Chains A and B, each alone.
Chain A
Amino acid sequence: MTKELYTEIILDLYKHPQNKGRLEDFDIEAGGGNPVCGDMVTFTMKIGGGKITDIRFYGGGCAISTAAESLLTEMVKGKSLKEAKEITPEKLFAELGNIIETRIKCALLGLTVLKMGIGEYERSGGKKAIVKGIVV
C-alpha cells in the first residue's frame, strides 16, 4: 500500500470514539446518513451563549466516517456556532490524514449533518431544532 488510508488517528478514533452517545437535554438534534452505503449518524448538541457547550454523536459507519465524526465533536466543542460552520472539508481532512477520493463522502457525512443541524437551529431563531433523515 503506497498511501496509508488507515492512519493511526483514524484507527484510534474508530476504536475509541470520543463524545459517543446522545444528550438527553439538547438544543439541536441532527441525524442523517448515506443511503448508498448505509452509514448513519446523529448529533445532539447543547448550546449556551452562542457556543456548543456539549455534543454527542451516535450511529453506525465505517472507520473513516466514525473517526471524522468523533474528531468533529472535539473540534466544535466549546466553539461558537459560527466557528463550527466555518470548518471546511480541507480543515477536517488535514486533521484526519489521507482521505482518498473514493472515501471523501464517508469523511464528510458528519460535517454535512452537523452543519445542517446548526443551520436549522439558527433559522428557528434559537429554538430547539430537530432535523432527521438528512441524505448525504
Chain B
Amino acid sequence: MDVQRIRKDFPILKRIINGKRMAYLDNAATTQKPWQVLEAETEFYANHNANIHRGLNALSQEATRMYEGAHEKTAAFIGAESMEEIIFTKNTTESINLLAYSLGEKLREGDEVLLTKMEHHANIVPWQQLAKRKKIKVKYAGITEDGRLDMESLESMVSERTKIISVAMASNILGTINPVEKIGRIAKKAGAHFIVDAAQSVPHTKVDVKSIGCDFLAFSGHKMLGPTGIGVLYGKRELLDGMEPFLTGGDMISTVTLEGAEWNRLPWKFEAGTPNIAGGIAFGAALDYLGKIGIGNAEAHEKKLLAHGMKRLSEIKGVEQYGPSKGQRTGILPFNLNGVHPHDLSEIMGRNAVIIRAGNHCAQPLMREMGIEGVARASFYIYNTEEEIDLMARSVEQAKKIFGA
C-alpha cells in the first residue's frame, strides 16, 4: 500500500490551516473523500441524472441501474446474499432508528433490549424511545476496567425476555473490538435478534455478516470515503420481509388504493421517497476505491499507526491513554493530558493544523462509566502517516508547556 500515492487522490489533504499543512486525524468522525468519489457524484449529475424506478425512459433506467449497482457492491462488500438485503439510509443513526421502529413494533410490554455501556448514542436513544412507547426494558452490559466488554455481565443479562441484542462491533471512543461472533451465538441461543452497529468497523476491517451471524448490521458511508447522507442497513431477507416499513410514501409501494397500499419488494420497501441517488452511486465508488486498496491492507496500515501513536504518547509524561492495552483494537487513540482539558488540547492542536476530536464523543454513558469528563481522540485512516502522528505528539508537548502541566 503506497500511502503517498493514496494521498494524491485526496484534494483536501493539501489544505493549509494557520500556515501549516493539515494533519487530519479525526477519521472516526468522518473520513475525507478521494477524487474518484467526488467525480462519481459529479458524473452522475452531469450525465445521468433522473429519478429512479420512474417510467421507462432511458435516462431513468441508467440512473436506476447505477443506484442499484451501488446496492450490489455493498452486498458484496459485507457478504450479504443479495442487494435485497441492503437498504440505503441516511446514516447509521437512521438505520438503527428504522429497526427501533419496524422491528421494535413487534415487542411487547416486559420484553427486553440488551445493549452495552460502550454504545454510541445512536445505539442507545432509539431504544430508550422504544422503551417509552412499548413499556419494554433496556439493559446495558458492563465493561471491564481496561475498556473491554464484560462478557460475563452480558451473558448474565440475557433472559427469555431478551428480544433484541444490539452491540457496537467496535467502540467509537476506545477502539475496542467486541467479540460479535460470540455475541451472535449467545443471541441465537436466546432466540433474540442480533443487531451490530458496525459504523467503526466496516471502514477498517473485513466484515462478513454471515460469519458474524447477525440479523442486522448498520454503518455509514461517510466514515469510509463516501459522501455524507448515505448509510446502510443490512438485514436478513426473511426478517425484512416480515417487518412493516419505517417511512412510507412514494417508491416503497406496489399498489395504492384509497383504502390502503401494498409494499414494494425489497429493499425498496424501506427506501421511501426519492433517495440520495447521487450519494449512493458515489458511495459505490468509495467501495470500489477501498476494494482496490484491500481492506486488509488498510487494517494493517492503521494498526501500525496505532502502535506508533501509542508509543509516542507513552513517551510524554502526564498523558493517560485509554482503551484495552491488549487484544483487538481499531485505529482509535483516546487520551488525556493531565491538567489540560481535552478541548484546550484540541484547540492547541488545531492551531498547528492537527485535527483531532475532543469531548464526550456521543457516548456520555461510557464517559461516566470511565469517570472522565471528556477525552481527546485521534483516529486514523488509509492516508495518514507516522509524521502526522509525530506532529500531534509535538502539539501535546506544546500544550503541556503552555499549561505548565
Q: List residues of chain A with CB under 8 Å of any chain B CB.
A: 1, 5-6, 11, 14-15, 36-39, 60-64, 66, 102-103, 106
Number of A-B contacts defined by CB within 8 Å: 44
Q: Is the CB of B351 within 8 A of A63?
A: no
Question: Mind listing 23 A-B residue pairs with CB under 8 Å?
Answer: A1-B351, A6-B344, A6-B348, A11-B402, A11-B403, A11-B404, A15-B339, A15-B403, A37-B359, A37-B360, A38-B359, A39-B343, A61-B341, A61-B373, A62-B342, A62-B344, A62-B347, A63-B341, A63-B403, A64-B343, A64-B344, A66-B341, A106-B343
Query: Is there a chain A Cβ closer than 8 Å to B364's Cβ?
Result: yes
Contact of B343 among A11, A15, A62 (CB under 8 A): A62
Q: A61–B342 Cα gap in the complex (Å)?
A: 9
Q: In angstroms, how far is the closest chain B Cβ from the Cβ of A100?
A: 9
Q: A11–B402 Cα gap in the complex (Å)?
A: 8
Q: A33–B351 Cα gap in the complex (Å)?
A: 25
Q: A11–B347 Cα gap in the complex (Å)?
A: 14
Q: Is the CB of B347 within 8 A of A103?
A: yes
Q: In angstroms, how far is the closest chain B Cβ from the Cβ of A58?
A: 12
Q: A15–B341 Cα gap in the complex (Å)?
A: 11
| Residues in chain B near residue A62, CB distance under 8 A | 341-344, 347
Query: Is there a chain A Cβ closer than 8 Å to B374's Cβ?
Result: yes
Of all A-B residue pairs in the complex, the 6 with the closest CB atoms, nearest first, are A62-B343, A62-B341, A38-B360, A60-B373, A63-B344, A62-B344
Q: A3–B382 Cα gap in the complex (Å)?
A: 34
Q: A52–B404 Cα gap in the complex (Å)?
A: 34
Q: In angstroms, how far is the closest chain A Cβ from the Cβ of B125?
A: 13
Q: A83–B360 Cα gap in the complex (Å)?
A: 35
| Residues in chain B near residue A60, CB distance under 8 A | 373
Q: A106–B341 Cα gap in the complex (Å)?
A: 12
Interface string of B342-385 (1 = CB under 8 A from A): 11100110010000000110001001000001100000000000
Q: In angstroms, how far is the closest chain A Cβ from the Cβ of B161?
A: 32
Q: In angstroms, how far is the closest chain B Cβ from the Cβ of A78?
A: 29
| Residues in chain A near residue B402, CB distance under 8 A | 6, 11
Q: A15–B364 Cα gap in the complex (Å)?
A: 25
Chain A CB count within 10 A is highest, among B347, B351, B403, for B347
Q: Is the CB of A5 within 8 A of B347?
A: yes
Q: A15–B340 Cα gap in the complex (Å)?
A: 9
Q: A1–B374 Cα gap in the complex (Å)?
A: 25
Q: In angstroms, how far is the closest chain B Cβ from the Cβ of A11?
A: 6
Chain A CB count within 10 A is highest, among B341, B347, B402, B403, for B341
Q: In angstroms, how far is the closest chain A Cβ from the Cβ of B395?
A: 11
Q: A1–B341 Cα gap in the complex (Å)?
A: 19
Q: Is the CB of A6 within 8 A of B403?
A: yes
Q: In angstroms, how far is the closest chain A Cβ from the Cβ of B374?
A: 5
| Residues in chain A near residue B373, CB distance under 8 A | 38, 60-61
| Residues in chain A near residue B348, CB distance under 8 A | 6
Beyond the given pairs A6-B348, A38-B374, A39-B343, 18 more chain A to chain B contacts, judged by CB atoms under 8 angstroms and listed by A's residue number, are A1-B351, A5-B347, A11-B402, A11-B403, A37-B359, A38-B359, A38-B360, A38-B367, A38-B373, A61-B341, A61-B343, A62-B341, A62-B343, A62-B344, A63-B340, A64-B344, A66-B341, A102-B347
Closest chain A residue to B342 by CB distance? Answer: A62
Contact of A38 among B344, B364, B403, B404 (CB under 8 A): B364
| Residues in chain A near residue B351, CB distance under 8 A | 1
Chain B CB count within 10 A is highest, among A6, A60, A103, for A6
| Residues in chain A near residue B342, CB distance under 8 A | 62
Q: In angstroms, how far is the closest chain A Cβ from the Cβ of B373?
A: 4
Q: A123–B175 Cα gap in the complex (Å)?
A: 49
Q: In angstroms, how far is the closest chain B Cβ from the Cβ of A110?
A: 15
Q: In angstroms, how far is the closest chain A Cβ from the Cβ of B345?
A: 9
Interface string of B193-222 (1 = CB under 8 A from A): 000000000000000000000000000000
| Residues in chain A near residue B404, CB distance under 8 A | 11, 15
Q: A15–B348 Cα gap in the complex (Å)?
A: 17
| Residues in chain B near residue A64, CB distance under 8 A | 343-344
Interface string of B276-298 (1 = CB under 8 A from A): 00000000000000000000000
Closest chain B residue to A39 by CB distance? Answer: B343
| Residues in chain B near residue A37, CB distance under 8 A | 343, 359-360, 374
